[in-house]
Amino acid sequence: MTKAKAIPTEVDPGDAKPTTRQAEELARIKTVAKKQAARADGPPMQLKMVDGVLQITFTHADPDLAHILMMADLGTCDTDFMAGVQGQIATIGTHGRKIDEGASNFLMSVVRGVQPRDELEAMLAVQMGAIHQATMMMARRLNHVDNITQQDAAERALNKLARTYATQMEALKRYRTGGQQKVTVEHVTVNEGGQAIVGAVTHGGRGSNGK
């Protein structure tokens, strides 16, 4: 299994006392190393076209274990679901017979970053990664327009994609919180003399005097 390069987290004892900037950099490096150690992501995908058919393998010595790790990344125990989503992710980075392995693995890294808990979250994470890639493509296109017509078309598409991504983020948040929303209602009481007292509204039963 291909492992990420170990991140150094200590200063060489033979080195001089680190400067303030070096100490700050080391603290940030330790933060990254801690996050890296806490992640046990599956291996990257390897894509290859064979007789016009896209084949997917992994940079892992054990193919069965690689598939299990992929299922863990997708928050599923369903092999059919894993195979379907895996194929969709691989296809995102493929243009005809041209393969962009990096684009597909980037999309998979987006899904891993979301850390989906079930199949619905996994599908939404894949869509979010795809929308992000499309957004960046339209942003690049907007920077290379030749006329107003191209500019307007690219700008409209970019705005739609950006709004879609924001909507996806909200959808993920609502799904993870069960759609619960906390609403606080306050009332304002103005006493004689014009002083306002703001407080939360509470609804209780009748008092002991019946009022």
Q: What is the pLDDT of residues 165-204, one digit of tens each?
A: 999 999 999 999 986 655 565 655 555 665 555 555 555 5
What gap in Å lies between CA 143 and CA 147, rounded to an integer?
11
Beta-carbon contacts of residue 89 (< 8 Å; ≥ 6 apart): 45, 104, 107, 108, 111, 126, 129
Q: What is the pLDDT of residue 15?
A: 61
Min mean pLDDT across 8-17, 105-114, 129-138, 193-202 is at: 193-202
1 has a pLDDT exceeding 90: no
70 has a pLDDT exceeding 80: yes
pLDDT band at residue 99 using 50, 70 and 90 as cut-offs: confident
Q: What is the pLDDT of residue 131?
A: 96
Q: What is the pLDDT of residue 206?
A: 52
Q: What is the pLDDT of residue 164?
A: 97
Q: What is the pLDDT of residues 133-174, one digit of tens each?
A: 999 999 999 999 999 999 999 999 999 999 999 999 999 999
Q: What is the pLDDT of residue 2?
A: 46
191 versus 39: which is more confidently predicted?
39
- Mean pLDDT score, 96-109: 87
Q: What is the pLDDT of residue 209?
A: 56
Helix axes 63-73, 79-92, angle to 10 degrees: 80
> How many Cβ atoms from other residues are within 10 Å of residue 154's Cβ?
19
Q: What is the pLDDT of residue 6?
A: 56
**CA dist 70 to 20, 61, 63, 81, 201, Å?**
41, 14, 11, 11, 50
Q: Are 68 and 83 spatial neighbours (Cβ–Cβ below 8 Å)? A: no
127 versus 192: which is more confidently predicted?
127
Q: What is the pLDDT of residues 53-63, one digit of tens each?
A: 888 999 898 98
DSSP state letters, the chain? ---PPPPP-S--TTSPPPPHHHHHHHHHHHHHHHHHHH--PPPPEEEEEETTEEEEEESSS-HHHHHHHHHHHTT---HHHHHHHHHHHHHHTEETTEE-HHHHHHHHHHHHHH--SSHHHHHHHHHHHHHHHHHHHHHHHHTT--SHHHHHHHHHHHHHHHHHHHHHHHHHHHHHTTT------EEEEE-TTS-EEEEE-------TT--
